[in-house]
Copies of this chain bind each other. A is one copy, B any other.
Amino acid sequence: VEKTLGEIAAYVGGCVSGDPELVIKDLKGITEAGPGDLSFIANPRYRRYVSMTRASALVVSLDMDFPGLNLIKVKDPYVAFGRLISWFYPQERESPSVSPQAYIDPSACVSPQATVYPGVFIGAEAEVARGAILYSGVVIGKGAKIGEESVLYPNVVIYPHCLIGSRVIIHAGAIIGADGFGFAHPGQENIKIPQVGIVQIEDDVEIGANTTIDRATLGRTWIKRGAKIDNLVQIGHNVTIGEKAVIVSQVGISGSVRIGDGVILGGQVGIVGHIEIGDGCIVAARSAIHNDVPPGQLLAGAPHMPYQKWLRMVGAMTRLPEWVRKVTDLAHRVAHLEKIIEGKES
């Protein structure tokens, strides 16, 4: 693909500052870009690379200016650059076909407009809608349903009766619907509580590689519309994840938790069971949430607290040995004063 800076600016609704006839051949990150490449600045951390970049031009925000450089100014450089990636690297769309080397149970219902690769297994009474793509090694359990245009990458497993919406993306190795971890008298008898519910994943959800989402004991584990879940996340039985929530890698969510709409959980966060995180909360990476949180909170720490309080606490904590010395010193000085006073008293 070759485009002029002017054409690119028009495509993303931005303004050129510099030479609109400049020819752009590729898109690159700012540290890798060279002559002929277009790059971008969204994260302010990367401003420091501008003076060194060999990129021919940059997509920047309206309030940025770098005299002497060719720029496309837009409201949101990250979104604009994302659109350009799709333009420069159009996704190949194969025509749908169902491989004879897939195993499809005779009672399953697979749209002829779906794509089913060799080595896929589709169980009894399962349904796969038009436009869905199932890559090699995908296993669809009995009675499970896969919605339109959903993409299941290799070796994804959907346990029986789970429901996957439309335009859902599930990355390789993710396991949807394994048994919840429910045992009575743990450590003693470990009596298994049967897990007969399902997982329901609504439209436009994306789920990362090797993530595990357990089926409900009864009812459903429920991932709502537009939620995005990263790799290696654990979601327990009967959890609800709100619309457009964002769950970063290696988060662990215990059973029966409700995560509100638009919540963002940073990497490696842990959440104990049976609690509720209100809409719009943002939880810093590695925090541990142990009780209900009202909407709109910004939290950090293990155990969690308001983010600003956590910053102060961490600040104090790293200077703890210094404070210990101060207290020891004060103790001596107070003892000394006491001796003097007592001497005077007596």
Please list the residues of chain A having a beta carbon within 8 angstroms of any beta carbon in chain B. Answer: 27-29, 32, 43, 45-46, 76, 78-79, 81-82, 85-86, 89, 91, 101, 103, 117-119, 121, 135-137, 139, 153-155, 157, 159, 169, 171-173, 175, 178-179, 181-194, 196, 206, 208-210, 212, 214, 217-219, 226, 228, 230-232, 234, 236, 238, 244-246, 248-250, 252, 254, 256, 262-264, 267-268, 270, 272, 274, 280, 282, 285-286, 288, 302-303, 305, 309, 312-321, 323-324, 326-327, 330-331, 333-334, 337-338, 340-341, 345
Contacts and interface: CB of A to CB of B under 8 A. Distances in A.
A181 B208 contact: yes
Given A178-B208, A209-B178, A231 B244 contact: no
Contact of A234 (B139, B192, B226, B249): B249
Given A85-B194, A190-B244, A274-B43, A231 B317 contact: no
A121 B154 CA distance: 10
Given A188-B244, A228-B181, A280-B187, A194 B159 contact: no
Contacts of A182: 82
A155 B173 contact: yes
Nearest to A258: B31
Contacts of A246: 183, 186-187, 190
Nearest to A288: B286
Given A121-B117, A212-B208, A337-B338, A249 B175 contact: no
A209 B212 contact: yes
Contacts of A231: 175, 178, 181, 212, 214, 234
A180 to B, nearest CB: 9
A318 B194 CA distance: 40
Given A187-B245, A232-B212, A244-B187, A155 B179 contact: no
Contact of A320 (B46, B254, B313, B345): B313
B244 A79 contact: no
Contacts of A119: 103, 119, 121, 137, 139
Contact of A323 (B254, B285, B324): B324
21 contacts: A82-B194, A85-B193, A137-B155, A157-B173, A172-B175, A178-B208, A181-B231, A187-B245, A187-B282, A188-B262, A209-B212, A210-B210, A210-B232, A231-B234, A270-B286, A309-B318, A312-B321, A316-B323, A330-B334, A333-B334, A334-B334
Given A173-B155, A250-B252, A187 B288 contact: no
Given A159-B172, A181-B208, A209-B175, A137 B139 contact: yes
A171 B181 CA distance: 11
Contacts of A323: 316, 323-324, 327
A5 B219 CA distance: 21
B121 A136 contact: yes
Contact of A187 (B117, B118, B262): B262
Nearest to A261: B187
A276 to B, nearest CB: 11
Given A85-B193, A86-B194, 6 more contacts: A78-B184, A82-B194, A137-B137, A154-B157, A214-B231, A334-B337
